[in-house]
Amino acid sequence: MLNTKLKIFSLICINLFFSANANFDLNLYKRYDVNFKPYRYDDKPFLYAFLFEHALDIYARNNDGDRKNVLQLWNDDIDGLAMLRGFKKDSKIGELATALNLVNDVGTRGRVVPCGDLKAWGASSYLRYNLPHDVFISLFIPVYSMSLNRISFKDETQNLSFLDDLTKDDLTNEFRKNVQDLSGIYLGPWKRTGFGDLMGTIEWDRNFIQEKPILKEVHLNGRLGVNFPTGLKLDEDKLFEIPFGYQFWGLYFGGGIDLLWWNCIKGGIDVEFLQLFSAARCVRVKTDRTQTDLLLLAKTRAIVEPGFVSRYNLYLEAHKFNDIFNLRVAYQYYRKTKDRLWLFDNQYSNEIANTSDARRDSTLHQFLFIFGAEFDQECYNTNFSLFYKLPFEGKRSLQTSTIGLNFYINF
């Protein structure tokens, strides 16, 4: 029996590392979610879980928490005139800025409204092995697929004066071509698929039976893990391309408590924190305080000090009604604090670079509705569940309602 289990374990490892399809910084899962955490069976040492979710409608919550198109995540429009400021006069961008030096911003001149249609789905594999003393180790790796299409840039510049005509001729009439010539940023559609970040975890997990009329079980867990930056990285030369992971090494830790009442109602709370470590990156930065964040023409090397990531989870569940079914409602809150940049040289201002809205803290609130069924067999235990994810609030974050399924097997 053990040899058979080891063979199955090997096949699952192959599937875990060689079956792909990819995305990110949506509220698709970057790491294993406690709401899909399988029950631990001491007599079944191995577990494999698979989760798939499809994004229904992706949108942005801007600085004020208002719902916007994804390309209006930080600003409602692109300020084309401000985009040219802060460069040396003898540079290509500086020469264009000089040619438009007399053009003043009247609220519409040089302004371009971006729109795009973002599509995504994600899948993940989770592999666990039980150790003695209520400890287990696990690996989690997601895969994503994402595309950005139907991209448009609506020119808000009027046709009322010579300065309007000058702005259109030199900048906004051929906005895509001009931006690519000046900065190398491709403003066309893209699609890509690949792995997210691998996460390894060691976890302690114990259930304490309670001989009380109402409270029947108290379940405690604590975990410590490492984030490996294996996800597809951000390409700074493509419009709004999203990395498929955090892009940094990180250490995460968390824990939670679950309570079972009357053997039919379950509830719990869980917290998790992720500390990401600084690294050198080639990044796009603001060169003037008035610039909008979607298109930054300057690219330079910097030490990126990523923000602190936290996740809080609270749930209530109708547990094992008809002996096999579970119905859970969970609330989750995510927050990532502000990133910090330390530029390598003084070509651009470090202070101005850190005024970017794109690097400010981001938040997200969402509900999860999960309906599952669990089946116990002599040699294995399986669980199937369907879920719906509903974000409802947040700032500076991409959000989507998703539908999905989760499956796991203990063996």
Q: Tell me, what's the pLDDT at 329?
A: 98
> Where does the pLDDT of residue 374 fall: very low under 50, low under 70, confident under 90, or very high at 90 and above?
confident
Contact 342, 350 (CB under 8 A): yes
Q: Tell me, what's the pLDDT at 21?
A: 33
- Quote the crossing angle between the two packed helices 92-99 and 175-183, to the nearest 10°: 140
Which residue is it, tokens 């010539």? Answer: 181
Q: 350 φ, ψ to 5°?
A: -65, -40
> Where does the pLDDT of residue 106 fall: very low under 50, low under 70, confident under 90, or very high at 90 and above?
confident
Amino acid letter for position 308: F
Average pLDDT, integer, range 305-332 = 94
What is the C-alpha to C-alpha distance for residues 326 and 324, in angstroms, rounded to an integer? Answer: 7
**pLDDT exceeds 50 at position 18:** no
Q: 383 φ, ψ to 5°?
A: -140, 135
Which residue is it, tokens 């191995």? Answer: 46
Q: Tell me, what's the pLDDT at 22?
A: 29
What is the C-alpha to C-alpha distance for residues 172 and 155, in angstroms, rounded to an integer? Answer: 7
Average pLDDT, integer, range 289-315 = 95
**pLDDT exceeds 70 at position 17:** no
Q: Which helix (H) or strand (E) holds 2?
A: helix 2-18
Edge-to-edge strand ranges of the sheet holding 298-305: 279-285, 298-305, 340-343
Q: Tell me, what's the pLDDT at 322?
A: 86
Lowest mean pLDDT among 5-9, 71-75, 112-116, 273-277: 5-9
Average pLDDT, integer, range 96-111 = 91
Q: Say if residue 373 is exposed, middle or buried (CB neighbours under 10 Å; 0-12, 13-18, 19+).
A: middle
What is the C-alpha to C-alpha distance for residues 355 and 349, in angstroms, rounded to an integer? Answer: 10
Q: Tell me, what's the pLDDT at 11?
A: 40
Average pLDDT, integer, range 335-362 = 94
- Listed in order, strand segments (DSSP E) in 337-380 are 340-343, 362-376
Task: Write the CA distances from 128 to 15, 131, 140, 196, 405, integer angstroms.
Answer: 14, 10, 9, 18, 19
Q: Tell me, what's the pLDDT at 33?
A: 85
**pLDDT exceeds 90 at position 42:** no
Each residue of 155-199: pLDDT tens digit? Answer: 999 988 999 999 999 999 999 999 999 999 999 999 999 999 999
Q: 12 φ, ψ to 5°?
A: -65, -40
Average pLDDT, integer, range 33-39 = 83
% pLDDT > 70, the chain: 92
The region, left, alpha or beta by phi > 0 then psi within -120 to 50, assigned to residue 30 is alpha
> Where does the pLDDT of residue 378 fall: very low under 50, low under 70, confident under 90, or very high at 90 and above?
low
Q: Which of 186-190's residues contact partners 24+ apart within 8 Å by CB, and which partners? A: 186/237, 186/238, 186/239, 187/151, 187/153, 187/239, 188/151, 188/239, 189/147, 189/148, 189/149, 189/150, 189/151, 190/147, 190/148, 190/238, 190/239, 190/241
Average pLDDT, integer, range 314-342 = 94
Each residue of 189-225: pLDDT tens digit? Answer: 999 999 999 999 999 999 999 989 999 999 999 999 9
Selection from 315, 223, 211 nearest residue 272 by Cα: 223
> Where does the pLDDT of residue 3 fall: very low under 50, low under 70, confident under 90, or very high at 90 and above?
low
Domain boundaries, the chain: 2-410
